[in-house]
Amino acid sequence: MNSNSITVSSLTKKFSFSARNASSGWLKNLFSPETKEIVAVNDISFSVKHGERIAFIGPNGAGKSTTIKMLTGILFPTSGKVNILGFDPTKDRKKLAYQIGTVFGQRSQLLPNLPLTDSLEFFGVMYDMPDKEIKIRITDLIELFDLGSFITQPVRKLSLGQRMRAEVAASLIHKPKIILLDEPTIGLDVVAKKSLRDLLLKINKEENTTIFLTSHDVGDIESLCDRTIVINHGVVIRDLPTQDLAKTFVYEKYIDLVALSNFNNFPELPEGISYSSKDKNKITVVVDINKINVQESLKKLLDLFEVEDIDVYNANLETVIRHIYERDSTSS
């Protein structure tokens, strides 16, 4: 049996559009406009195993949404192949829809004026579930997502955090094998974000649901996903376990120096070391380990400053991701 939920090979999507040519007349622009082409997704390949939790990240315009749309059969690829649970989304969109759930963070799929139960029942019918099964599943979801306190309230009266929990619950009504989430925590406060992440982990563990998530929130990636695929300019630039993301690509170390009394002057630093932040009580420096190692850096820093405490650490994931994006933009 194939252990992959998703297999993508050499997937490419090009968009063509008419562009006005300033040097041509309006008649030529109207009847024979110039056609331009952009490559939104360029020859990407990856696979996802059953039950994996994948973060699919990249800066705006990187090709994330286009890829998700091709995975769900909404867009047809220009070339390449997609196989999800044995289905080709271009040919079996409806059949595939029974196996996947989707959550678009900025678009609600719930019925705003009616209680949440009506939306859940509605989606149950949409997925052709028998009435009895819908009732059982709703009871399960109420318990799993702790929806009981607001299940009878009209959806438009729910808080954003409650609504997002309800959105995810609605997308799981038919017990999908894969759930694709596009920015699920956007706009949520820290408590609601944590609650949603915990719930997604729970359904991943209890129902072995594959999670495929796009997000700009590093917390989502760190706490939820065991693998990260980074895409930029339509190309997969990194595909690795999330825990290795920070380790593998860090060519910088951060050193915090806590002042013994106060730092009164900030001398020029040796090559390979630069200030990240500086104030009287604490200095943070960035060390480029390609130019100078940590031991050497510490020696030089201790010659320059009188310190009470030192802390050496890797860049946080957000910084790492920013570096990856920036490095990729510079090299392309």
Residues that bind another protein (CB under 8 A): 69, 72-74, 93-95, 97-98, 100, 102, 104, 107, 109, 111, 113-114, 118, 121-122, 125-128
Supply angle C-alpha 108, 127, 140, rounded to 5: 80
Min separation Cβ 168 and another protein, Å: 14
User: CB-wise, 108 or 319, nearer to another protein?
Assistant: 108
User: CB-wise, 85 or 111, nearer to another protein?
Assistant: 111
Min separation Cβ 232 and another protein, Å: 23
- The DSSP string of 37-82 is EEEEEEEEEEEEETT-EEEEE-STTSSHHHHHHHHHTSS--SEEEE
Min separation Cβ 156 and another protein, Å: 10
Whole-number Å distance between alpha carbons of 195 and 203:
13
- Copy the structure tokens of residue 282: 């604490």
User: CB-wise, 122 or 325, nearer to another protein?
Assistant: 122
Min separation Cβ 91 and another protein, Å: 14
CA distances from 234 to 119, 126, 268 (A): 36, 34, 41
Min separation Cβ 103 and another protein, Å: 9
User: CB-wise, 128 or 268, nearer to another protein?
Assistant: 128
Give the containing element (helix H, strand E) for 122. Answer: helix 116-126
323: phi then psi, degrees, rounded to nearest 5:
-60, -40
Dihedral through CA 153, CA 158, CA 163, CA 165, nearest 10?
-70
- Copy the structure tokens of residue 12: 């490419």
- Copy the structure tokens of residue 239: 């595909």
User: CB-wise, 111 or 158, nearer to another protein?
Assistant: 111
User: CB-wise, 13 or 69, nearer to another protein?
Assistant: 69
Supply angle C-alpha 306, 310, 311, rounded to 5: 155
Q: In what order do the strands lie in the sheet with 4-19?
A: 34-49, 4-19, 79-84
Min separation Cβ 125 and another protein, Å: 4
User: CB-wise, 179 or 320, nearer to another protein?
Assistant: 179
Min separation Cβ 124 and another protein, Å: 9
